[in-house]
Amino acid sequence: MIQLAATTITPAAQLWLAGTTHARPLNIFAHACNLVNQNGAVLALATAALPLAPFALQIEVADFHGLKAADGVQVAGSELNLGPWRIRTANAKLWNPLPDWIAVRRTMKANPRRLASLAQHALAARPPSSLLELYCAPGSNSVIKQAALGAANLVNGVRTHMLDQAIDGAHQLAGLGQGLTPSGDDFIIGVMFAAWAGLYGATAAELCVPLAQAAAPRTTTLSAAFLHAAARGEAMSPWHALLAALARLGDLPAALRAVLNIGHTSGADALAGFLASYNWKVFDISCQLEAINH
């Protein structure tokens, strides 16, 4: 057995360890390995080379390439046994995946132009084929074109607190796109973050749980875990830095780059959802739809 020590743990990871009777590897990468237990709950094992997920257990440097899908997973108290590794979690530092949403809402209310600055920087730095193209060239590829209608329904439903319409949009977006966290799911997550930031009114966050419940069964196991985490108001570590940077514009470009570096386009797709609440003369997805149809 190779002994490793976990350096950081999240509350969701603590619950996963406490409630797991059996589990298996779900996704294996060089610096990360996602595990899924008997209840379908996900634990994201990752090294410090990667940002923290809301359900992460960060460990010392390891190369997961030698791990196999058939390798056993065992939980024994505060230890996690995975393939050749015995991971000790007792001394891991607890990380809270909840951003300071109260401070974010205060900032957004006092400084609404901060969102304008974020939008300007995000669109200038947008990666090709991300859902940020909804605001620039909505007909540029099939995924973006398909996403437009779902995005319009989701955002308009959340803005007006019409849950049925918002859920219709979530159904249309869920699982749309490639990869383990499809673009449509990331857009939903961004909309939920905007709700937590108070950009849709004080009661909008109450829509997040039913939105996650509507979308999760239609997508991947990993993406469903991120959707449920976002419904609880939990975010990956680069989003913490970005939300804090909205109060300090000098830090905004670097924090934005970190979010844009999440996945292939996952960070950009979530930003597209987050920015949908901003300046509907510019970010009017319904107008984009009209342009697509013509």
pLDDT in the model for residue 113: 86
Tell me the whole-structure pTM to 2 decimals: 0.93
% of the chain residues with pLDDT over 90 = 65
pLDDT in the model for residue 65: 76
**Exposed e or buried b per residue across 143-165, where buried means at least 16 C-beta atoms within 10 angstroms of its C-beta:** bbbbbbbbbbbbbbbbbeeeeeb
Question: Is the pLDDT confidence value at 197 over 90?
Answer: yes
pLDDT band for position 138 (cuts 50, 70, 90): low
- CA distance linking residue 44 with residue 32, whole number of Å: 7
Which residues, 6+ apart, have CB-to-CB distance to 12 below 8 Å? 41, 54, 55, 97, 229, 234
Q: Is the model more confident about 175 or about 207?
A: 175
pLDDT band for position 292 (cuts 50, 70, 90): very low
Question: Is the pLDDT confidence value at 83 over 90?
Answer: no
pLDDT band for position 291 (cuts 50, 70, 90): very low
Going from N- to C-terminal start, the domains of the chain cover: 2-94, 101-293
Average pLDDT, stretch 164-193? 96
DSSP 182: -
In DSSP notation, 64-105 reads: GGG--TT--EEEETTEEEETTEEEE-TTPEE------HHHHH
% of the chain residues with pLDDT over 70 = 92
